[in-house]
Amino acid sequence: MSSKVSRRQFLSYTLMGVGGFMASAMLMPMVRFAVDPVLQPKGEGEFIPTPQKADDLTETPVRVDFTIKDRKDAWYKSDVSNTAWVYKEGDTIIALSPVCKHLGCTVNWEGDEKHKNEFFCPCHNGRYEKNGKNIPGTPPLGPLDEFMVEVVDGYVNLGKTVPNTLV
Amino acid sequence: MNWTGKDMDIYLLQKEYIDTLVIPLVKVETKMDNMKTSASSTEFVMLLASLIETQFKGRMMFAPPFSYTSSTDLQSMADTTLQDFSDTTFKHVFFLTTDHAWLSQKMPGQVIWLPSIPLESMDAPLRQSILEDQLRQVLPKFTEGWSAL
C-alpha cells in the first residue's frame, strides 16, 4: 500500500503544486519591484576616466581633456568634450573647472604674460589664483568650480563639479 | 553666446560685457561639382564657430550663419542685409568665412577669412587639435579688433 499513491493524496499534491506556481507567479514580480531601486545602475555622480596619469602631475596645472560618452539629453545622445585644469597640492589632486564665473568663457593657466601663476580669462581680463579664488577688482564674482577627483589604476578620473572647497 | 532665447536673456542683462557679434558667412554651392567642398567648408566654419563660442562665451554673440549662393551679389548683400548689423548695440562686428570673395568687398565690420580644411575624414582628437590650431590663428585678429576701438 505504501508505494501506492491514493487518489486523495494525488489530488492534494497536484493542487499544492499548481497553487504554489500561481502564488509565486504573483509574488515574484512584486518582490522584484520592491528591490528594484537597489538594482538600478547609478547614472549620476559617475567618474569619467581621463588620459592623465596621476603620477605625472606636478604643482603646475595642466590641461586635461576628457569626453563624456553617450550623454543623454532627452532622446538625444551625444559625446560631450570637457576640460579641466589639474595639479597636485602635496598629495591631493585638485581639478578645477575652466569655466569663468563671470559669463562662462574658458580660462587659461598663465594665459596672460603679465600675470604669472594665475588663471586668466581672455574675455574681460578676469583673474583667479591657483586655487581658483577670484582676484578682487576683476569681473568674476566667485571662485572656479572644482571637479570631484578619483584615481583609478593610476589614471585621474573626474566626477561632477562642486563649488570650490579650497577658498 | 549663441542666438538662443536663453543666451539672449543673458546678453540683454550684460550688454556692456558682451560687445562682439560674430556672423558666419557660408556659401552654398548648387552645382554638383562644388557641393562637396561647399558642405565641407560650411562644416568647418560652423565647428570653428562653436569652438570660439565656448572659449569666448562671455564676450561674443554668434548670429545664425548667413548663407548665399553663387548668383548672390556680395556687395549688395553687404550693403543691405549685413549693413543692418552696424546699427546694433554691438561695438565690434566680425564676419567669419572661408570665402575669400568677401575680402574684396566693402564690409560693415571686419572680415576674418581662413582657408577651409576638410575635417570629415578625421577622427575626433585630430579634428579637435586642428580646430584649436585654427583658433590660435584667428585669435590675434579678434584681439586686434578689440583693442582698435
Q: Is residue A90 packed enough to be buried (19+ CB in 10 Å), middle (13-18) or exposed (0-12)?
A: exposed
Question: Does residue A44 carry a pLDDT above 60?
Answer: no
pLDDT band at residue A49, thresholds of 50, 70 and 90?
confident
pLDDT band at residue B144, thresholds of 50, 70 and 90?
confident
Residue in A81, A103, A139 nearest the CB of B57: A103
Number of separate domains in chain B: 1
If you average pLDDT over every residue of chain B, what do you get? 90
User: Does some domain include residue A102?
Assistant: yes
Q: What pLDDT is recorded for position B61?
A: 93
User: Does some domain include residue B147?
Assistant: no
User: Does some domain include residue B119?
Assistant: yes
Contact A103 B124 (CB under 8 A): no
What mean pLDDT do residues A58-82 have? 77
* Residue B58's CATH number: 3.40.50
Q: Give the tens place of pLDDT for each residue, B96-120.
A: 999 989 999 888 889 999 999 998 8
Higher per-residue confidence, B70 vs A69: B70
User: Does some domain include residue A12?
Assistant: yes
Q: What pLDDT is recorded for position A18?
A: 95
Q: What pLDDT is recorded for position A73?
A: 65
Residue in A65, A79, A124 nearest the CB of B59: A124
Within chain B, residue ranges assigned H as helices are 5-13, 32-55, 74-79, 124-148
User: Does some domain include residue A96?
Assistant: yes
pLDDT band at residue A123, thresholds of 50, 70 and 90?
confident
Q: Say if residue A65 is in the same domain as residue A132.
A: yes
What mean pLDDT do residues B38-45 have? 93
User: Does some domain include residue B145?
Assistant: no
What ipTM did this prediction achieve? 0.76
What mean pLDDT do residues A22-30 have? 93
Q: Say if residue A10 is in the same domain as residue A88.
A: no
* Residues near B121 by beta carbon (within 8 Å), at least 6 away in sequence: none
Domain of residue A15: give its range.
Answer: 1-40
Q: What pLDDT is recorded for position A15?
A: 94
Domain of residue B128: give its range.
Answer: 5-140
What mean pLDDT do residues A13-39 have? 90
What is the SS3 assignment for A111? coil
Q: What pLDDT is recorded for position A42?
A: 60
Higher per-residue confidence, B145 vs B113: B113
User: Does some domain include residue B17?
Assistant: yes
Q: Say if residue A132 is in the same domain as residue A78.
A: yes
Q: Is residue A8 packed enough to be buried (19+ CB in 10 Å), middle (13-18) or exposed (0-12)?
A: exposed
Cα–Cα–Cα angle for A56, A112, A162, rounded to 5 degrees: 55
Question: Does residue A75 carry a pLDDT above 70?
Answer: no
Q: Say if residue A19 is in the same domain as residue A61.
A: no
Q: Which of B12, B17, B142 to mutate to test the interface with A (most CBs of A within 10 A)?
A: B17
Q: What pLDDT is recorded for position B64?
A: 94
Higher per-residue confidence, B89 vs A15: A15
B56 has a chain A CB within 8 A of its CB: yes
B142 has a chain A CB within 8 A of its CB: no
Q: What pLDDT is recorded for position A14?
A: 94
User: Does some domain include residue B88?
Assistant: yes
User: Does some domain include residue A167?
Assistant: no
From chain A, pick out residues whose CB is under 8 angstroms from the CB of B8: none
User: Does some domain include residue B149?
Assistant: no
From chain A, pick out residues whose CB is under 8 angstroms from the CB of B55: 105-106, 122
* Residues near B10 by beta carbon (within 8 Å), at least 6 away in sequence: A103, B1, B18
User: Taking the CB of residue B20, how many other CB atoms lie within 10 A of it?
Assistant: 20
Q: Could you tell me which residues are beta bridge partners of residue A66?
A: A82
User: Does some domain include residue B148?
Assistant: no
Question: Does residue A48 carry a pLDDT above 90?
Answer: no
What mean pLDDT do residues B67-82 have? 91
Q: What pLDDT is recorded for position B124?
A: 80
Q: Say if residue A131 is in the same domain as residue A89.
A: yes
Number of separate domains in chain A: 2
If you average pLDDT over every residue of chain A, what do you get? 85
Contact A122 B56 (CB under 8 A): yes
From chain B, pick out residues whose CB is under 8 angstroms from the CB of A100: 58
* Residues near B137 by beta carbon (within 8 Å), at least 6 away in sequence: B114
Q: Say if residue A99 is in the same domain as residue A30.
A: no
Q: Is residue B116 packed enough to be buried (19+ CB in 10 Å), middle (13-18) or exposed (0-12)?
A: middle
* Residue A155's CATH number: 2.102.10.10
Residue in A79, A81, A102 nearest the CB of B58: A102
